[in-house]
Structure 1
Amino acid sequence: MMIARRADTRARADFATWKMIAKLNGASSLPADAQNFLASYKALLKDMGEADATEATIRQMYATYYKEMGGAGTPPEVRPAPTAPVADNVTAFRRPAARSKPSSFRASFGFGGQGQQQRLPVALIFTCLVIVYVGIRYFWR
């Protein structure tokens, strides 16, 4: 049964991929077996609806994959997993609550609100590095 499930999953994934590639005019780059399955799908579309033609083609692919993967005899019927009804999971946008600004005294000394960091000006950092460099050079002589 494990081989059957893997073959069915592979058949459904390959068919969906090949169908999309064919829609994008790239069917000529597909392997020969993929082109054969798509040709049989197009022939089935003339006789039946799209959903039925898709299922029939997937069943053909499934039987082929089942034998390729080492399955013996007639491939067993694989029932797809029951799908739960799709619920709309879109959430309406809500504006976040307004935050109060920290006082100017607290912010000027680096005691701002949560998660805020004071940025040091580049010139101040450069000046400190120069002082450290000169100090090291001076004391090592």
Structure 2
Amino acid sequence: MLIARRADTRARADFATWKMMAKLNGTSSLPAEAQDFLASYRALLKEMPEAEATEATIHLIYKAYYGEMGGAGLPPDVIPRSRDPVSDNVTAFKRPPAPRPKTTGGSETKPRLPVALIFACLVVVYVGIRYFLQ
């Protein structure tokens, strides 16, 4: 059953990739096996709705992959996990919070000493040290 689950997952992923490549006109870069499956998919589309044609093609790919992966006999039916239908798998872009505007005054800002006051204090300290050392 593990081989069957892996084959089914791989078949679904590969078919989705191949289908997207076909939409982007990139089928010529696909392997011959993929092009054959897409041709059978197009033939099935003429006979049945898209959802049924997709499942039928995925089942054909699944059978081929099951044999390649070492599965013996007929491949078992893999029941897809029931999930809520996903309409879009793209996460919404969230803007970062706006930076807070800098306040020019108030209690939140640090009081800044003017450069001249700092220089005057350094001169006083220097003169004081020179005076006490002589």
Check whether TM > 0.5.
yes
Deviations 1:82-113 (A, max 9, x none): 1136599869879669577423428x8xxxxx
- More contact order relative to length (CA 8 Å, sep ≥ 6): 2
Distance 1:73 1:51 in 2: 27
Query: TM-score by structure 2 length?
Result: 0.68
Whether 1:82 aligns to 2:82 is: yes
What is the aligned partner in structure 1 of residue 112 from structure 2?
A: 105
Aligned residue pairs total: 108
Task: Give the Å deviation of 1:80.
Answer: 1.1
Q: CA deviation at 1:79?
A: 1.0
TM-score by length of 1: 0.65
Between structure 1 and structure 2, the one with the greater Rg is 2
Q: Mark the CA change 1:4 to 1:23 in structure 2 (over 3 Å): closer, same or farther.
A: same
Using a 3 Å threshold, how does the CA distance of structure 1 residues 90 and 45 change in structure 2: closer, same or farther? Answer: same
- The answer to whether the aligner puts 1:66 opposite 2:58 as a matched pair is no
- The AA in structure 1 aligned to 2:4 is A
Residue 28 of structure 1 corresponds to 28
Aligned equivalents of 2:96, 2:16: Cα separation in 1: 37
Q: Which residue of 2 aligns with 1:120?
A: none
What's the CA shift for 1:72? Answer: 0.6
Q: Percent identity?
A: 61
* Paired AA for residue 79 in structure 2: R
Q: Which moved more, 1:52-61 or 1:81-90?
A: 81-90
Task: Tell me how large the CA RMSD over aligned residues is.
Answer: 3.0
Q: Which consecutive unaligned segments of at least 5 residues does structure 2 have?
A: 104-108, 115-134
Structure 1 unmatched runs, 5+: 109-141
1:40 matches 2:47: no
